[in-house]
Structure 1
């Protein structure tokens, strides 16, 4: 059994996030479905803009990350609170490259540096509000 994170609630910016993760992380789009392509209505509320992403599946390294705009209601913006996605690049050079890409338009929580558990660890929240931990395993 595997855990596959599902980031639901990009509030209309999911397609932008997918393009960002393709560049920043080398993500490969496995599947992308728009609300207009749904064979059934989506819940009881108003139908989101048909061009928005209902479901996406991205392959990042050996992992799958699923994404969605969610119901796109209101202008509250995404809230990915109380969680972080952890990436374990093989080298410090990879960690630096990934960290630099994710911090573009985002916010550094902890700069990359040596810790007692890792030669290179850092935390960053990207421009979409997703928190990431970059950790090189010694």
Structure 2
């Protein structure tokens, strides 16, 4: 089984995917636009034709997917969950990922050794997405 994260945005999916690719050391792939898709109809606002219908960031064998959700369809507004990333390459890389994701956002728990061991921190990124970053 593989469990993946799929985030919805109010028009900033491409910016978010590029940000996550940079933070996680990955690359954006499978970027599809609304234009030319079955969603490209008279109900789709013209400003949304170049928005992301689907996109993926691949990083170290993991992926995070996202799309822009047209107005009134429930994009963004994250509550009651967090994206969790476990960094296997050690504390230094985990701290770099944490600091990169926190840029422009808000740290809710500093990246430090918790009572259970390893290192752990929590943040809300500049797009409003909550994250937990941990390592051994």
Q: Which runs of 4+ in 1 moved over 6 A?
A: none
Name the counterpart of 2:134.
Answer: 135
Q: Structure 1: which 5+ runs fail to align?
A: none
Structure 2 counterpart SS, 1:36 = coil
Q: How far 1:77 moved relative to its partner?
A: 7.1
CA distance in 2, matches of 1:86, 1:118: 17
TM-score normalised to structure 2 length: 0.88
- Distance in 2 separating the partners of 1:80 and 1:61: 25
- Map 1:45-124; keep pairs closer than 5 Å: 46-48=43-45, 49-71=48-70, 73=71, 78-90=76-88, 91-124=90-123
Q: TM-score when scaled to structure 1?
A: 0.86
The count of residues paired between Structure 1 and Structure 2 equals: 132
Note the residue ranges of structure 2 that are not aligned, 5 or more in a row. none
Query: 2:117, 2:133 → 1: CA distance?
Result: 10
RMSD: 2.0
Q: Which has the higher mean CA deviation after the structures are superposed, 98-107 or 114-123? A: 114-123
- 1:118 and 1:135 in contact (8 A); partners too: no
Structure 1 SS opposite 2:4 = coil
* 2:3 maps to 1:3: yes
Work out whether residues 105 and 124 of structure 2, in 8 Å CA contact, stay in contact via their aligned partners in 1: yes
Kept after mapping to 1: 8 A contact 2:4/2:64: yes
